[in-house]
Amino acid sequence: MLVAPDHGSACVGAGDEPLRLMAVHAHPDDESSKGGATMAKYVRDGVQVLVCTLTGGERGTILNPAMEQPGIRENLPAVRRAEMAAAREILGVRQRFLGFTDSGLPEGDPLPPLPEGCFAAEPLDSAAEPLVAAVREFRPHVMLTYDENGGYPHPDHIKCHQVSVEAFEAAADPYRYPDSGEPWQPLKLYYHLSFHRERMLALHEEMLSRGLESPYAERIAKLESAEESGARRPLAVTTRVPCGDHFEIRDQALLAHATQVDPQGGWFSVPLEVQRSAWPTEDYHLARSVVDSELPEDDLFAGIREKVCL
């Protein structure tokens, strides 16, 4: 059963069928830190949005010192579900947990083995089946997920990428996952590009121009070094969604994940007016498409509205 308020099903166009967007994430809080303003914008434009959260974040670290309180760590799974419930209400999205167990972030050299029974250790078909079923039930026109590196190399993020691609490619095939609902073909699949160098450089320069201290100098230098060495080839930004008017909603949803987000931390080190001036979009790479659209885009539904909203 889908969970969340229904903000209407109006098609953004002249037709009757609503546009539908599915965002696939590894843990609670990922939906707010990656694409939160985009989802808030589309919800308020009448698009139906579903967040699929693959794990419960059970092995997450408490990143906000103020939440190091009695009863929090011992009940972290329930706490994180409550935080997710608050965030989805703020964003206005529907949301569903797909039932896998957080893998944690392995540390050490060599890295320790993954915990038994965790999401990242699941075989691809069993990890993807619940998402295929969700795609066939919700019937999204657009899916959002992470790139091959997971955005950053957390094993759950990498697995999230793998199952999202599998679901996008398999959901329309009646011979694959035959017990998981009626086939449905999503039309576009995007990867989040939240912290690419161009965006960080624009924010960095805007902060300096206003006499403010920038938090990005070291990160920009690391990215440039990785790109110059060939260790990291950045994906092209194909799509910039104007959503600066919804940055406050995104930040409120982030703060709802109180165990994961420190109000005094780096998420809020760049004032909103700086963000709106220097970079008022959230950015994506179009990874798969079965419709034609002209690049670059400013709308995830470019090439789809003409098909759905007739």
Cβ contacts of 102 within 8 Å, gap of 6 or more: 27, 55, 56, 57, 58, 59, 60, 118, 119, 156
What residues in the chain have per-residue pLDDT under 50?
Answer: 1-10, 12-14
What pLDDT is recorded for position 17? 83
In tens, the pLDDT along 156-183 reads: 999 999 999 999 999 999 999 999 999 9
Q: How far is CA 205 from CA 217, 219, 224, 272, in A?
A: 10, 14, 16, 15
What is the structure's pLDDT at 76?
96
Here the tokens at position 7 are 């903000």
User: Got the DSSP string for 250-283?
Assistant: HHHHHHH-TTT--TTSGGGSS-HHHHHHH--EEE
Find the helix or strand (DSSP H, E) in which 50 lies: strand 48-55
Q: Pull the structure tokens for residue 283.
A: 């950015």
Integer Cα distance of 245 and 110 in angstroms? 45
As a whole number of angstroms, the distance between CA 49 and CA 24 comes to 11
Residue 260 phi, psi dihedral angles, 5° rounding: -105, -20
Residue 12 confidence (pLDDT): 47
Model confidence, pTM: 0.92
Q: How far apart are CA 110 and CA 192, in angstroms?
A: 29
Q: Are 255 and 261 in contact (CB under 8 A)?
A: yes
Backbone angles phi, psi at 282, to 5 degrees: -110, 140
Q: CB atoms < 10 A from the CB of 273, how many? A: 12
- Please give the single-letter amino acid code of residue 264: Q
**pLDDT at residue 219 in the model:** 87
pLDDT of residue 306: 84
Give the tokens for residue 103.
């893998």
Describe the chain by its helix, strand, coil percentages, rounded to 5.
40, 15, 45
Number of alpha helices (DSSP H) and beta strands (DSSP E) in the chain: 10, 7
Sign of CA dihedral 106, 79, 32, 122: positive
The H-or-E segment that residue 85 falls in is helix 76-91
Name all domains of the chain by residue range, CATH numbers in brackets.
20-195+280-308 (3.40.50.10320), 197-234 (no CATH)
Tell me if 305 sits within 8 A of 10, measured CB to CB.
no
- Spatial separation of the C-alpha atoms in residues 221 and 198, rounded to whole Å: 12
pLDDT at 11: 62
Q: What pLDDT score does 230 carry?
A: 67
Q: Is 292 helix (H, G, I), strand (E, B) or coil?
A: coil
Judge contact between 267 and 226, C-beta under 8 A: no
On average, the pLDDT of the chain sits at 92
What is the rounded end-to-end Cα distance, in angstroms, of the chain?
A: 30
How many alpha carbons fall within 13 Å on the CB side of residue 67?
Answer: 23
How many angstroms separate the CA atoms of 146 and 166, rounded?
A: 13
